[in-house]
Amino acid sequence: MSRGAAGAITAPSLDFTDGGTGVSRDRLVVIGGDAGGMSAASQARRRRDADELEIIAIERGTHTSYSACGIPYWIAGDVDAADDLVARAPAVFRDKYAIDVHLRHEATAIDLDRREVTARDLDGHGERTFGFDQLMIATGAVPVRPKLPGIDRPGVYGVQTLDDGAAVQAAVRPDRTCAVVVGGGYIGLEMAEALVRRGLDVTLVEAADHLMSTMDPDLADQIADAVRNVGITVRLGESVTGIEGADHVRAVTTDAGVIPADLVVLGLGVRPNSALAKSAGIDCGPTGGIVTDRQQCTSHEGVWAAGDCVETFHRVSCRPVHIALGTHANKQGRVAGINIGGGYATFPGVIGTAITKICNLEIARTGLSSRECAAVGLSGVTISVESTTRAGYFPGAELMTTKIIAERGTGRLLGAQIVGREQSAKRIDVLATALWNGMTVEEMVGMDLSYAPPFSPVWDPVLIAARKAADAVAAAR
């Protein structure tokens, strides 16, 4: 194998033929039919026609290119149907992009020497082997399922795929009145709200002493209050020890007691689904994710990976991280597809920007939290500022809290968090842009941000926080 002039990796043809015409063409096999995999397949197709490159996608589920982030909103009733979450159906990929999608096929083995993928037909039609010139691994992530008694009992659900969401949707029935959500991160909180909106009595159990471990405790307290205000019972500092029930879950046991449950949703986060790659001899890193270079190539030439199954570089901590977000998966898949297609592209890393809405509270963060700064040895100066989303005198002005962490001495922005009412959280994008470009809080004070009373105070909350942080950095010198 060799790298082309543009830097893309090329592989020798395995002499697949086009419809019996005898014309030789390369074959790309994609494992995983969601964001990372299908973004790569689409980009590769845009650069290489079907008579040059055959593309086969293997997907264990029943959908392609869907928004897993939208599942809680579908269950809550904000989205009418599962199909509304699908960006491109398999038929679109077949008809428009000449990508052959095999649904309900699970890849079970990768043979790098023979350059073959073995896949099992989940409908019972045996196994198939697909040879490849180029291989794209986009196996995503799997929900964390701790080894607890009863964890595999019927009625216990993870929420990672659209099929998982359909299972939860089917489980919400009139005869099931109480639910337990285990884990107080993004998915746990979003699912707790969705279930309480569906009329269930919901208890949220979190082993830590505050919700949302990616947020600092003082802002997490506001989140807990908002969750309690909609009727969700929050039990912090409590660990689940088992699931009870015979033919179906009936209760969750913790180190503090027993909680009745007709269904249980696991919101304990996800881990990279990298076992298939690792068993094939592809390098995985300390996060458990597949290791790639900036072009999304793995440790083996002609084998690429993207999305929730990979680890990536954090631009602030300078450490490998695993952050499962569709934004990253789509960008990484695009990069891989460009390179597979003979172009050149790189993925520059991440800074951990995320946003959500829980009840009537908007929540956002970027960069590092106080705990994360300490873990990587960065000394930060922290300030929190309360402001309003609009000019205080303008109707509809809502409270918001902006927290900034700046590096002691240099004033370099290290992280930021926002908790507030409507029209507050998207301001995190301004802070993420400043962070991405290595700005100091002193430099941020002079940013030319827009102003009109319906949109912000004359000093936008971002600028107020930057100004306060700059003062705190100067005082600490």
HSE toward the beta carbon, residue 293, CA cutoff 13 A: 14
Q: Which of 69, 297, 309, 318 is catalytic?
A: 69
- How far apart CA 427 and CA 449 sit, in angstroms, is 11
- Check if the beta carbon of residue 181 is closer than 8 Å to that of residue 192: yes
- How far apart CA 87 and CA 131 sit, in angstroms, is 28
Name the nearest CA neighbour of 75 among 146, 152, 183, 181.
181
Name the nearest CA neighbour of 420 among 352, 351, 365.
365
- Bridge partners, 183 (sequence order): none
Name the nearest CA neighbour of 71 among 63, 59, 79.
79
* Maximum pairwise Cα distance, the chain: 76
CB within 8 Å of 152: residues ≥ 6 apart? 145
- How far apart CA 285 and CA 390 sit, in angstroms, is 45
CA R_g for the chain:
24
Q: Which residues of 403-431 are buried (b: 16+ CB within 10 A; e: fewer)?
A: bbbbbbeebbbbbbbbbbbebbbebbebb
Question: Could you give the dihedral angle defined by the CA atoms of residues 44, 46, 52 and 55, in that order, rounded to the nearest 10 degrees?
Answer: 50
The one-letter code for the residue type at 252 is V
359 is catalytic: no
Name the nearest CA neighbour of 236 among 214, 215, 251, 254.
254
Phi-psi region of 155 (alpha: psi -120 to 50; beta: other; left: phi over 0): left
- Bridge partners, 406 (sequence order): 381, 413
- Kind of pairing, strands 201-206 and 16-17? unpaired
Task: Report how far Cα 197 is from the mean position of its chain's Cα atoms.
Answer: 24
Catalytic residues: 69
